[in-house]
Amino acid sequence: MASCTRLLHRLVLNHGCRVCYLPFGTFRRPPLYSACVESCAKVTFRQELHTSTILSQEDATGSKQQQQQQQEESHLSAESKRTLSLSRNLFKEATNKSADKETFYQLIRTFGEVDKRRRGHLQFIETALKYMPHFNVEKDINAYNKLLDIFPKGVYVAKNVWQVIFNHFPEQQTVALKVLQKLEDNKIMPNNETKKLLLDVFGRQSHPVKKYQRIMYWFPKFRNINPFPLPFELPSDPVLLAELGLKRICEYEAELTVVKEFDDSSSDTNANEFLTSSQSPEQKDLLSQHPPYRPLFVEGPFNLWLRDIKLGYYVLRSDAIYLKSLEGDIVKDEDEEFEADYNMRNMKPPSEDQLEGSVYAMCMTSNGSQERLNLWIKKLQEDNPHLARLPVIFNLFDNNTESKEREGRIGEGTKLLKPDT
Protein backbone atom coordinates (compact mmCIF):
# COMPACT_ATOMS: atom_id res chain seq x y z
CA MET A 1 0.00 0.00 0.00
CA ALA A 2 1.04 3.55 -0.44
CA SER A 3 2.22 5.18 2.70
CA CYS A 4 -0.88 7.31 2.94
CA THR A 5 -2.91 4.48 4.29
CA ARG A 6 -0.54 4.24 7.18
CA LEU A 7 -2.38 7.16 8.68
CA LEU A 8 -5.42 5.05 8.85
CA HIS A 9 -3.55 3.12 11.44
CA ARG A 10 -4.51 5.81 13.85
CA LEU A 11 -7.57 7.02 12.09
CA VAL A 12 -9.49 3.81 12.19
CA LEU A 13 -12.24 3.03 9.77
CA ASN A 14 -15.44 3.15 11.70
CA HIS A 15 -16.98 -0.06 12.86
CA GLY A 16 -19.11 0.95 15.76
CA CYS A 17 -21.20 3.24 17.77
CA ARG A 18 -20.04 6.84 17.94
CA VAL A 19 -20.28 6.79 21.69
CA CYS A 20 -18.89 3.45 22.77
CA TYR A 21 -16.76 2.41 19.75
CA LEU A 22 -18.09 -1.12 20.02
CA PRO A 23 -20.08 -2.66 17.20
CA PHE A 24 -23.67 -1.60 17.21
CA GLY A 25 -25.78 -3.77 19.42
CA THR A 26 -22.92 -5.32 21.38
CA PHE A 27 -25.23 -4.65 24.29
CA ARG A 28 -28.67 -5.96 23.72
CA ARG A 29 -30.38 -2.76 24.77
CA PRO A 30 -28.86 0.57 23.77
CA PRO A 31 -27.52 1.84 27.09
CA LEU A 32 -27.25 5.38 28.32
CA TYR A 33 -23.97 7.13 27.77
CA SER A 34 -22.48 6.55 31.21
CA ALA A 35 -23.69 2.98 31.36
CA CYS A 36 -22.30 2.45 27.92
CA VAL A 37 -18.88 3.71 28.87
CA GLU A 38 -18.88 1.58 31.98
CA SER A 39 -19.83 -1.57 30.22
CA CYS A 40 -17.34 -0.79 27.47
CA ALA A 41 -14.60 -0.55 30.02
CA LYS A 42 -15.69 -3.82 31.56
CA VAL A 43 -15.73 -5.62 28.28
CA THR A 44 -12.32 -4.44 27.23
CA PHE A 45 -10.98 -5.21 30.66
CA ARG A 46 -12.30 -8.72 30.42
CA GLN A 47 -10.73 -9.13 27.01
CA GLU A 48 -7.42 -7.84 28.28
CA LEU A 49 -7.63 -10.27 31.14
CA HIS A 50 -8.41 -13.00 28.75
CA THR A 51 -5.42 -12.39 26.56
CA SER A 52 -3.15 -11.83 29.50
CA THR A 53 -4.24 -15.19 30.85
CA ILE A 54 -3.31 -16.69 27.56
CA LEU A 55 -0.07 -14.90 27.02
CA SER A 56 1.68 -14.41 30.28
CA GLN A 57 0.44 -14.86 33.75
CA GLU A 58 3.69 -13.44 35.06
CA ASP A 59 2.99 -10.06 33.49
CA ALA A 60 -0.18 -9.44 35.43
CA THR A 61 0.26 -6.12 37.17
CA GLY A 62 -1.37 -5.27 40.44
CA SER A 63 -2.89 -7.57 42.98
CA LYS A 64 -6.41 -6.48 42.00
CA GLN A 65 -5.98 -7.74 38.50
CA GLN A 66 -4.50 -10.98 39.76
CA GLN A 67 -7.44 -11.54 42.04
CA GLN A 68 -9.87 -11.01 39.21
CA GLN A 69 -7.79 -13.26 37.07
CA GLN A 70 -8.04 -16.01 39.61
CA GLN A 71 -11.78 -15.50 39.78
CA GLU A 72 -11.96 -15.66 36.04
CA GLU A 73 -9.97 -18.83 36.00
CA SER A 74 -12.12 -20.48 38.64
CA HIS A 75 -15.16 -19.86 36.44
CA LEU A 76 -13.57 -21.63 33.54
CA SER A 77 -14.32 -25.27 33.06
CA ALA A 78 -11.55 -27.80 32.83
CA GLU A 79 -12.27 -28.17 29.14
CA SER A 80 -11.88 -24.49 28.21
CA LYS A 81 -8.77 -24.34 30.35
CA ARG A 82 -7.41 -27.05 28.20
CA THR A 83 -8.21 -25.17 24.99
CA LEU A 84 -6.78 -21.97 26.39
CA SER A 85 -3.52 -23.63 27.24
CA LEU A 86 -3.64 -25.40 23.91
CA SER A 87 -3.53 -22.23 21.85
CA ARG A 88 -0.94 -20.69 24.11
CA ASN A 89 1.28 -23.75 24.13
CA LEU A 90 0.99 -24.22 20.38
CA PHE A 91 2.29 -20.74 19.63
CA LYS A 92 4.84 -20.60 22.42
CA GLU A 93 6.45 -23.85 21.37
CA ALA A 94 6.43 -22.88 17.72
CA THR A 95 8.09 -19.51 18.37
CA ASN A 96 10.83 -21.30 20.25
CA LYS A 97 11.47 -23.75 17.43
CA SER A 98 11.09 -22.19 14.02
CA ALA A 99 8.90 -19.15 13.59
CA ASP A 100 8.13 -18.77 9.91
CA LYS A 101 5.15 -18.53 7.60
CA GLU A 102 4.81 -22.26 7.05
CA THR A 103 4.79 -23.01 10.79
CA PHE A 104 2.01 -20.48 11.25
CA TYR A 105 -0.13 -22.16 8.61
CA GLN A 106 0.74 -25.53 10.12
CA LEU A 107 -0.45 -24.35 13.55
CA ILE A 108 -3.79 -23.30 12.12
CA ARG A 109 -4.10 -26.70 10.48
CA THR A 110 -3.20 -28.43 13.75
CA PHE A 111 -5.88 -26.51 15.58
CA GLY A 112 -8.49 -27.70 13.10
CA GLU A 113 -7.36 -31.29 13.46
CA VAL A 114 -7.17 -31.42 17.28
CA ASP A 115 -10.82 -30.68 17.79
CA LYS A 116 -13.25 -30.92 14.90
CA ARG A 117 -15.77 -28.80 16.78
CA ARG A 118 -13.12 -26.11 17.06
CA ARG A 119 -13.89 -25.21 20.63
CA GLY A 120 -12.07 -22.10 21.77
CA HIS A 121 -11.50 -20.87 18.26
CA LEU A 122 -12.02 -17.25 19.30
CA GLN A 123 -9.24 -17.56 21.84
CA PHE A 124 -7.10 -19.26 19.26
CA ILE A 125 -7.59 -16.48 16.72
CA GLU A 126 -6.85 -13.77 19.28
CA THR A 127 -3.71 -15.56 20.37
CA ALA A 128 -2.70 -15.98 16.76
CA LEU A 129 -3.15 -12.25 16.17
CA LYS A 130 -0.81 -11.52 19.07
CA TYR A 131 1.80 -13.89 17.70
CA MET A 132 1.62 -12.76 14.07
CA PRO A 133 4.70 -10.50 14.21
CA HIS A 134 6.77 -13.38 15.62
CA PHE A 135 5.99 -15.46 12.55
CA ASN A 136 6.48 -12.54 10.17
CA VAL A 137 3.05 -12.99 8.62
CA GLU A 138 1.65 -9.55 9.41
CA LYS A 139 1.93 -8.47 5.79
CA ASP A 140 0.54 -11.70 4.39
CA ILE A 141 -3.09 -11.61 3.33
CA ASN A 142 -3.24 -15.41 3.20
CA ALA A 143 -2.50 -15.61 6.89
CA TYR A 144 -5.50 -13.42 7.64
CA ASN A 145 -7.66 -15.48 5.32
CA LYS A 146 -6.59 -18.67 7.03
CA LEU A 147 -7.46 -17.17 10.40
CA LEU A 148 -10.90 -16.15 9.16
CA ASP A 149 -11.28 -19.64 7.72
CA ILE A 150 -11.29 -21.06 11.24
CA PHE A 151 -14.79 -19.67 11.83
CA PRO A 152 -17.53 -22.21 11.07
CA LYS A 153 -19.46 -21.40 7.92
CA GLY A 154 -23.11 -20.52 8.06
CA VAL A 155 -23.62 -20.79 11.80
CA TYR A 156 -23.25 -17.10 12.54
CA VAL A 157 -25.24 -15.86 9.57
CA ALA A 158 -28.23 -13.82 10.67
CA LYS A 159 -31.38 -15.39 9.34
CA ASN A 160 -33.85 -12.59 9.90
CA VAL A 161 -33.93 -8.87 10.37
CA TRP A 162 -34.22 -9.11 14.17
CA GLN A 163 -31.00 -11.03 14.39
CA VAL A 164 -29.33 -8.36 12.29
CA ILE A 165 -30.66 -5.57 14.48
CA PHE A 166 -29.69 -7.28 17.74
CA ASN A 167 -26.22 -8.18 16.57
CA HIS A 168 -26.04 -11.88 15.94
CA PHE A 169 -23.11 -13.56 17.75
CA PRO A 170 -21.46 -10.32 18.90
CA GLU A 171 -18.29 -11.89 20.36
CA GLN A 172 -17.55 -13.71 17.14
CA GLN A 173 -18.12 -10.56 15.11
CA THR A 174 -15.82 -8.61 17.41
CA VAL A 175 -13.02 -11.11 16.93
CA ALA A 176 -13.44 -10.98 13.16
CA LEU A 177 -13.32 -7.19 13.41
CA LYS A 178 -10.05 -7.49 15.29
CA VAL A 179 -8.61 -9.56 12.49
CA LEU A 180 -9.73 -6.97 9.95
CA GLN A 181 -8.40 -4.16 12.10
CA LYS A 182 -4.99 -5.80 12.20
CA LEU A 183 -5.14 -6.17 8.44
CA GLU A 184 -6.00 -2.49 8.11
CA ASP A 185 -3.20 -1.47 10.45
CA ASN A 186 -0.74 -3.34 8.30
CA LYS A 187 -1.97 -1.57 5.18
CA ILE A 188 -3.01 -4.69 3.35
CA MET A 189 -5.85 -4.88 0.88
CA PRO A 190 -8.25 -7.75 1.49
CA ASN A 191 -8.82 -9.98 -1.53
CA ASN A 192 -11.80 -11.82 -2.96
CA GLU A 193 -11.16 -14.78 -0.73
CA THR A 194 -11.50 -12.58 2.34
CA LYS A 195 -14.78 -11.31 1.01
CA LYS A 196 -16.06 -14.80 0.32
CA LEU A 197 -15.03 -16.04 3.75
CA LEU A 198 -16.66 -13.13 5.55
CA LEU A 199 -19.86 -13.57 3.58
CA ASP A 200 -19.90 -17.31 4.29
CA VAL A 201 -19.24 -16.90 7.98
CA PHE A 202 -21.23 -13.81 8.91
CA GLY A 203 -23.55 -13.04 6.01
CA ARG A 204 -24.17 -9.81 4.17
CA GLN A 205 -25.60 -7.78 7.03
CA SER A 206 -22.80 -8.09 9.52
CA HIS A 207 -20.17 -5.79 10.96
CA PRO A 208 -17.14 -7.61 9.57
CA VAL A 209 -18.57 -7.41 6.05
CA LYS A 210 -19.29 -3.72 6.54
CA LYS A 211 -15.75 -3.19 7.75
CA TYR A 212 -14.50 -5.03 4.66
CA GLN A 213 -16.59 -2.69 2.51
CA ARG A 214 -15.15 0.35 4.26
CA ILE A 215 -11.62 -0.83 3.67
CA MET A 216 -12.39 -1.49 0.03
CA TYR A 217 -13.90 1.98 -0.31
CA TRP A 218 -11.21 4.07 1.39
CA PHE A 219 -7.95 2.25 0.67
CA PRO A 220 -8.01 2.63 -3.11
CA LYS A 221 -9.07 6.29 -2.69
CA PHE A 222 -5.88 7.13 -0.81
CA ARG A 223 -3.58 4.70 -2.54
CA ASN A 224 -1.97 7.13 -4.96
CA ILE A 225 -2.32 10.50 -3.30
CA ASN A 226 1.27 10.73 -2.10
CA PRO A 227 3.04 13.23 -4.38
CA PHE A 228 6.39 11.82 -3.27
CA PRO A 229 5.89 8.10 -3.83
CA LEU A 230 8.29 5.42 -2.67
CA PRO A 231 8.71 1.91 -4.03
CA PHE A 232 6.41 -0.71 -2.58
CA GLU A 233 9.32 -2.31 -0.80
CA LEU A 234 12.22 -0.18 0.28
CA PRO A 235 15.67 -1.55 -0.59
CA SER A 236 17.67 -2.94 2.29
CA ASP A 237 20.98 -1.80 0.81
CA PRO A 238 21.99 1.45 2.57
CA VAL A 239 23.58 2.81 -0.61
CA LEU A 240 20.37 2.38 -2.59
CA LEU A 241 18.40 3.83 0.29
CA ALA A 242 20.65 6.87 0.41
CA GLU A 243 20.24 7.35 -3.33
CA LEU A 244 16.49 7.10 -2.99
CA GLY A 245 16.52 9.63 -0.18
CA LEU A 246 18.78 12.09 -1.97
CA LYS A 247 16.75 11.85 -5.17
CA ARG A 248 13.68 12.70 -3.15
CA ILE A 249 15.08 15.88 -1.66
CA CYS A 250 17.36 17.21 -4.39
CA GLU A 251 16.50 18.98 -7.64
CA TYR A 252 15.37 16.89 -10.58
CA GLU A 253 18.40 17.71 -12.75
CA ALA A 254 20.84 17.01 -9.95
CA GLU A 255 23.55 14.48 -10.56
CA LEU A 256 24.16 11.75 -8.05
CA THR A 257 27.66 10.47 -7.44
CA VAL A 258 28.40 7.49 -5.28
CA VAL A 259 31.82 6.82 -3.80
CA LYS A 260 32.37 3.42 -2.29
CA GLU A 261 36.12 3.12 -2.13
CA PHE A 262 38.11 5.25 0.21
CA ASP A 263 41.86 5.63 0.31
CA ASP A 264 42.20 6.37 3.98
CA SER A 265 42.95 3.71 6.52
CA SER A 266 39.65 3.94 8.40
CA SER A 267 37.80 2.25 5.56
CA ASP A 268 39.64 -1.01 6.15
CA THR A 269 37.49 -1.72 9.14
CA ASN A 270 34.22 -1.46 7.30
CA ALA A 271 33.81 -2.43 3.67
CA ASN A 272 30.23 -1.14 3.50
CA GLU A 273 31.09 2.52 3.72
CA PHE A 274 29.74 4.88 1.10
CA LEU A 275 29.30 8.54 0.29
CA THR A 276 26.48 9.71 -1.95
CA SER A 277 26.51 13.28 -3.13
CA SER A 278 24.13 15.31 -5.25
CA GLN A 279 24.55 18.62 -7.02
CA SER A 280 22.50 20.17 -9.78
CA PRO A 281 23.99 22.29 -12.60
CA GLU A 282 22.15 25.28 -11.15
CA GLN A 283 23.75 24.77 -7.78
CA LYS A 284 27.10 24.51 -9.50
CA ASP A 285 26.51 27.90 -11.12
CA LEU A 286 25.50 29.45 -7.85
CA LEU A 287 28.52 28.05 -6.08
CA SER A 288 30.85 29.44 -8.73
CA GLN A 289 29.44 32.91 -8.05
CA HIS A 290 29.72 32.67 -4.29
CA PRO A 291 31.73 35.63 -2.94
CA PRO A 292 35.01 34.41 -1.39
CA TYR A 293 34.67 36.57 1.72
CA ARG A 294 31.57 34.71 2.92
CA PRO A 295 32.17 31.28 4.38
CA LEU A 296 30.35 28.08 3.48
CA PHE A 297 28.84 25.73 6.02
CA VAL A 298 28.60 21.97 6.09
CA GLU A 299 25.69 21.13 8.34
CA GLY A 300 23.97 18.00 9.43
CA PRO A 301 22.80 15.41 9.94
CA PHE A 302 19.22 16.45 9.26
CA ASN A 303 16.51 13.85 9.41
CA LEU A 304 14.81 12.41 6.38
CA TRP A 305 12.22 9.71 6.80
CA LEU A 306 11.50 7.17 4.11
CA ARG A 307 8.47 5.44 5.59
CA ASP A 308 9.86 4.05 8.84
CA ILE A 309 13.53 4.42 7.97
CA LYS A 310 15.36 7.46 9.23
CA LEU A 311 18.23 8.78 7.15
CA GLY A 312 20.55 11.63 7.87
CA TYR A 313 21.73 14.08 5.24
CA TYR A 314 24.30 16.85 5.18
CA VAL A 315 24.13 20.10 3.25
CA LEU A 316 26.75 22.47 1.94
CA ARG A 317 25.19 25.89 2.13
CA SER A 318 25.94 29.55 2.30
CA ASP A 319 25.22 31.50 5.45
CA ALA A 320 21.94 33.26 5.96
CA ILE A 321 21.99 36.62 4.26
CA TYR A 322 20.03 38.41 6.93
CA LEU A 323 20.84 37.52 10.44
CA LYS A 324 17.46 38.13 11.90
CA SER A 325 17.37 38.60 15.61
CA LEU A 326 15.60 35.88 17.52
CA GLU A 327 12.68 38.24 18.11
CA GLY A 328 12.04 38.10 14.41
CA ASP A 329 12.75 41.70 13.51
CA ILE A 330 14.85 42.31 10.50
CA VAL A 331 17.48 44.85 11.38
CA LYS A 332 16.69 47.81 9.16
CA ASP A 333 20.20 49.16 8.67
CA GLU A 334 21.54 45.81 7.59
CA ASP A 335 18.57 45.45 5.30
CA GLU A 336 19.38 48.61 3.40
CA GLU A 337 23.06 47.88 3.45
CA PHE A 338 22.54 44.54 1.79
CA GLU A 339 20.16 45.92 -0.78
CA ALA A 340 22.62 48.66 -1.64
CA ASP A 341 25.30 46.01 -1.93
CA TYR A 342 23.18 44.04 -4.38
CA ASN A 343 22.22 47.09 -6.40
CA MET A 344 25.85 48.05 -6.68
CA ARG A 345 26.68 44.68 -8.22
CA ASN A 346 23.63 44.74 -10.51
CA MET A 347 22.10 41.69 -8.85
CA LYS A 348 18.54 41.06 -7.82
CA PRO A 349 17.94 41.39 -4.07
CA PRO A 350 17.29 37.97 -2.58
CA SER A 351 13.82 36.51 -2.16
CA GLU A 352 12.52 35.24 1.14
CA ASP A 353 13.77 31.75 0.39
CA GLN A 354 17.22 33.01 -0.36
CA LEU A 355 17.43 34.85 2.92
CA GLU A 356 18.07 31.54 4.55
CA GLY A 357 21.10 31.00 2.38
CA SER A 358 21.16 28.69 -0.57
CA VAL A 359 22.02 25.03 -0.68
CA TYR A 360 24.95 24.15 -2.93
CA ALA A 361 25.16 20.40 -2.48
CA MET A 362 23.79 17.57 -0.38
CA CYS A 363 25.23 14.27 0.69
CA MET A 364 24.51 11.15 2.66
CA THR A 365 27.17 9.00 4.14
CA SER A 366 27.44 5.90 6.21
CA ASN A 367 29.91 7.57 8.50
CA GLY A 368 29.22 11.14 9.55
CA SER A 369 32.73 11.90 10.71
CA GLN A 370 34.42 15.13 9.75
CA GLU A 371 37.13 13.29 7.79
CA ARG A 372 34.50 11.71 5.59
CA LEU A 373 32.81 15.08 5.00
CA ASN A 374 36.20 16.62 4.29
CA LEU A 375 36.57 14.00 1.62
CA TRP A 376 33.18 15.00 0.25
CA ILE A 377 34.30 18.62 -0.04
CA LYS A 378 37.48 17.47 -1.76
CA LYS A 379 35.45 15.46 -4.28
CA LEU A 380 33.22 18.48 -4.86
CA GLN A 381 36.29 20.61 -5.55
CA GLU A 382 37.02 18.49 -8.62
CA ASP A 383 33.80 19.74 -10.20
CA ASN A 384 33.76 23.13 -8.52
CA PRO A 385 37.24 24.68 -8.68
CA HIS A 386 35.93 27.86 -7.06
CA LEU A 387 35.20 25.90 -3.90
CA ALA A 388 38.92 25.58 -3.18
CA ARG A 389 39.06 29.33 -2.57
CA LEU A 390 36.18 29.36 -0.10
CA PRO A 391 36.44 28.84 3.64
CA VAL A 392 34.27 25.94 4.79
CA ILE A 393 33.02 25.69 8.35
CA PHE A 394 31.88 22.34 9.69
CA ASN A 395 28.80 22.67 11.78
CA LEU A 396 28.00 19.08 12.67
CA PHE A 397 25.34 18.13 15.15
CA ASP A 398 26.32 15.52 17.60
CA ASN A 399 23.34 13.38 18.30
CA ASN A 400 24.63 12.76 21.77
CA THR A 401 24.92 16.36 22.87
CA GLU A 402 22.01 18.31 24.17
CA SER A 403 19.92 20.20 21.67
CA LYS A 404 20.56 23.53 23.38
CA GLU A 405 23.83 23.91 21.61
CA ARG A 406 22.19 23.52 18.25
CA GLU A 407 19.51 26.08 18.86
CA GLY A 408 21.91 28.97 18.88
CA ARG A 409 23.14 28.44 15.35
CA ILE A 410 21.66 30.37 12.53
CA GLY A 411 21.26 28.69 9.21
CA GLU A 412 18.78 26.74 7.22
CA GLY A 413 17.25 23.36 7.65
CA THR A 414 15.12 21.89 10.31
CA LYS A 415 16.41 21.55 13.76
CA LEU A 416 16.87 18.17 15.25
CA LEU A 417 15.58 18.39 18.71
CA LYS A 418 15.74 15.71 21.29
CA PRO A 419 12.41 15.07 22.94
CA ASP A 420 11.92 16.51 26.37
CA THR A 421 12.57 13.90 28.96
Partner 1 sequence: MMACVKYQGLCRHFILHSGVLRTIPVAHAGTLKTLHRSFSSEEKESFYGSLTRNFKLMTQEFVTKLKSPNIDTMFDRSRVLWEYKGPESLKEFKVVTDATIGGQSTAKLGISRNNKLLFTGNLNTDVPKDGETVRSGFCTLKTLQQFGSFNRKVEIDLTPFTTLHLRLRGDGRAYMINMYCNSYFTLTHDDVWSYFLFTRGGPHWQNVSIPFSKFFLSSQGRVQDKQSPVDLERVTSIGLTMADAINGEFSLELGSIHVTYDATESEEFVYERYQT
Residue 245 Cβ vs partner 1, minimum distance, rounded to whole Å: 8
Footprint (CB under 8 A) of partner 1, residues 253-272: none
User: Under the criterion CB under 8 A, does residue 413 sit at the interface with partner 1?
Assistant: yes
Amino acid present at 234: L
CB of 77 to partner 1, least distance (A): 25
CB of residue 398 to partner 1, shortest distance in Å: 15
Determine the 3-state secondary structure of 359 from DSSP: strand
Q: How far is CA 131 from CA 85, 91, 108, 134, in A?
A: 15, 7, 12, 5
CA distance 53 to 57: 6
Please report whether residue 208 would count as binding partner 1 according to CB under 8 A. no
Nearer to partner 1, 118 or 214 (CB): 214
With CB under 8 A as the contact rule, the residue among 26, 358, 365, 384 that binds partner 1 is 358
Closest separation in Å from C-beta 226 to partner 1: 5
Q: How far is the CB of 220 from partner 1 (least distance, A)?
A: 12
Total residues in contact with partner 1, by rule CB under 8 A: 82
Check binding of 25 to partner 1 (CB under 8 A): no
60 binds partner 1 (CB under 8 A): no
How far apart are alpha carbons 283 and 278 in whole angstroms?
10
Of 388, 393, 383, 392, nearest in space to 285 by CA:
383
Residue 417 in the binding site for partner 1 (CB under 8 A): yes
Angle, nearest 10°, between helix axes 141-149 and 192-202?
20
Give CA separation, 133 vs 91, 181, 349, in Å: 12, 15, 57
Query: Which x/- pattern, by CB under 8 A, does the window 157-196 give for partner 1?
Result: ----------------------------x-----------
Tell whether residue 252 is a contact of partner 1 (CB under 8 A). Answer: yes
- Sign of the CA dihedral 8, 13, 17, 22? negative
| Choice between 62 and 385, CB closer to partner 1 | 62
Interacting span for partner 1 (CB under 8 A) from 154-162, 282-290, 370-378, 382-390: 282-290
DSSP 26: S
Which residue number, 124 or 313, has a Cβ lying nearer to partner 1? 313
Please, what is the minimum distance in Å from the beta carbon of residue 334 to partner 1? 14
Please say which residue, 120 or 413, places its beta carbon nearer to partner 1.
413
Q: Tell me which residues in 310-349 interact with partner 1 (CB under 8 A).
A: 310, 313, 315, 317, 320, 324, 326-329
Cα separation, 234 vs 131, in Å, equals 25
* Stretch of 77-85, 138-146, 161-169, 354-362 lying at the interface with partner 1 (CB under 8 A): 354-362
- Alpha carbon distance 170, 183 (integer Å): 20
Among 157, 249, 256, 258, which residue sits at the site for partner 1 (rule: CB under 8 A)?
249
Concatenated DSSP letters of 321-351: SS---TT-PPPHHHHHHHHHHHHHTT-PPP-
Strands (E), 219-295: 255-259, 275-279
